[in-house]
Structure 1
Amino acid sequence: MVEEQKKSKSAFREYAESIGFALLLALFIRSFIVQAFKIPSGSMIPTLQVGDHILVNKLSYGIRNPFWGAYLTHLRKPQRGDVVVFIFPEDRSKDFIKRVIGIEGDMVEIRGKKIYINGRPLEDPHAHFEDDPPQRGPLQVRDDYGPRQVPENHIFVMGDNRDRSYDSRFWGFVNLDDVKGRAFLIYWSWDGMDRWVRWERIGNLIY
């Protein structure tokens, strides 16, 4: 009887230790390696759709301390065209996803929705426009911006859905320490309006 109780306790302990290890491993992976995010808005259409579930490589730019935010070591800096997840400067409890348009030192200007980097037109194959008329007043920066230089250790970001994105044109630059990682894969996609799985999007790489 006593022997059976010992075996039962031993089995329970092994089970608890296995669960504890799995939880710690999952926490480590989420904090330092890969994190899942859900796309809540259409600001990155057509690259990302509302309801896409994506994976973000948190080691793309280095090892970032998840507790106080600064990078412990840098591997490389974000490049133009990278799709990055970062802490939203106006509300640090939220994460945003946008495309890097300008890197530190770049002079960014927008004229009539056309982007210029250091005085030259930017090749912009991912841009999507809703053909809205030009804006005036506070929203004019959507179509005409700058020129402004990107500060050191910062990036300028925009959504691919240019007429429907709240981005660096409105609230400024992103500190590199606030960049959580680079989006690289759509692992699930659910159309909430029609309530069906977008099978054709699952497994797509994010460029």
Structure 2
Amino acid sequence: MATVKAELWSWLKVIMVALLLTFVIRTFIMTSTTVKGVSMEPTASTGDRIFVNQATYYFGEPERFDVIVFKASEDADYIKRVIGLPGDIIRYEDDVLYVNDEAIPEPFLAEARASMVHGRLYTTDYVSHTVVPEGYVFVLGDNRRKSSDSRQLGFIDMNDIIGKAGLRFWPLDKMGFME
């Protein structure tokens, strides 16, 4: 009987440690999310499952073109690309992104641009010398024509950033790191 109790106690300790580790990892280090909507196509599509690195921004700030997940509302998390950092002046003119009056190439939009026949990626020359305030970022979806992003939501508070989108693990044929 003593060996059965010892064996049960041994298993209970292993389960408790596993649950504690799971809690710590999911709360502070890494979580997963499912992409909903077309705003990040072709980079990420509806149904894609992505690991989100929550620890990245404990040690540093977001960088331009990071793909991030943030709390957009009480019950919705969004995935978007960081375009503007604190202090940056953002504007679009003739379908070109300018940051601090320098034209910025957006290689991740090459596929979207190739599919445009006579249209524009941006429906209008959106931003005219918008300055990103301290503690905030300016984000856009890669599918610029069909994205709710900083153009509608305004600047994103860095405290609302959940983490950096990391590894896409589903679907398997698209498995890889987000770029």
Q: Which runs of 5+ in 2 are unaligned?
A: none
Report the TM-score when normalising by structure 2: 0.87
**What is the SS of the residue equivalent to 1:18?**
helix
Partner deviation per Cα, 1:115-144 (whole Å, 9 max, x = no partner): 22112222111123675967xxxxx6x652
CA–CA distance in 2 between the matches of 1:92 and 1:110?
Answer: 30
Residue 105 of structure 1 aligns to a residue whose secondary structure is coil
Q: Which of these two proteins has the greater Rg computed from alpha carbons? A: 1
- Secondary structure of the equivalent of 2:9? helix
Aligned 8 A contact 1:113 1:144 in 2: no
Deviates more, 1:161-170 or 1:48-57: 48-57
SS in 2 for 1:126: helix
Matched position secondary structure for 1:36: strand
2:128 match: secondary structure:
strand
Partner of 2:67: 83
- Equivalent residue for 2:108? 126
Return 5+ residue gaps in structure 1 as ranges.
63-74, 135-139, 190-198
SS of residue paired to 1:180: strand
What do residues 58-110 of structure 1 show as CA deviations (whole Å, max 9, x unaligned)? 12111xxxxxxxxxxxx22111111111111xx13321110000000011112
Q: Identify which range, 178-187 or 155-164, moves more after superposition.
A: 178-187
SS of aligned partner of 1:26: helix
2:34 match: 38
Return the alpha-carbon distance in structure 2 between the equivalents of residues 33 and 92 of structure 1.
Answer: 21
- Structure 1 distance, partners of 2:10, 2:83, is 51
What TM-score, normalized to structure 1? 0.76
Separation (CA, whole Å) in 1 of partners of 2:12 and 2:103: 59
Q: What is aligned with 1:22? A: 18
Q: Which amino acid aligns with 2:68?
A: V
Q: Is contact 1:103–1:150 with CA below 8 Å preserved after alignment?
A: yes
- Taking the aligned partners of 1:114 and 1:50, their CA distance within structure 2 comes to 27
Structure 1 position 112, deviation (Å)? 4.2
**TM-superposed deviation, 1:175:** 1.0
C-alpha deviation, 1:185, in angstroms: 1.0
Amino acid at match of 2:45: Q
The 1:93/1:163 distance shift into structure 2, 3 A limit, reads same
Cα RMSD (Å)? 2.1
Rounded Cα–Cα distance in structure 2 between residues aligned with 1:107 and 1:156: 10
One-letter code of the match for 2:67? V
Residues of 2 paired with 1:172 and 1:20: CA distance? 43
Q: Which has the higher contact order (CA 8 A, sep 6+)?
A: 2
Percent identical among aligned pairs is: 34
For 2:55, the equivalent position in structure 1 comes to 59
Shift of 1:13: 2.3
What does the per-residue CA deviation read over 1:177-207, in whole Å, with 9 as the maximum and x for residues that have no partner? 1112111211121xxxxxxxxx4312x1111
Structure 2 counterpart of 1:201, one-letter code: K
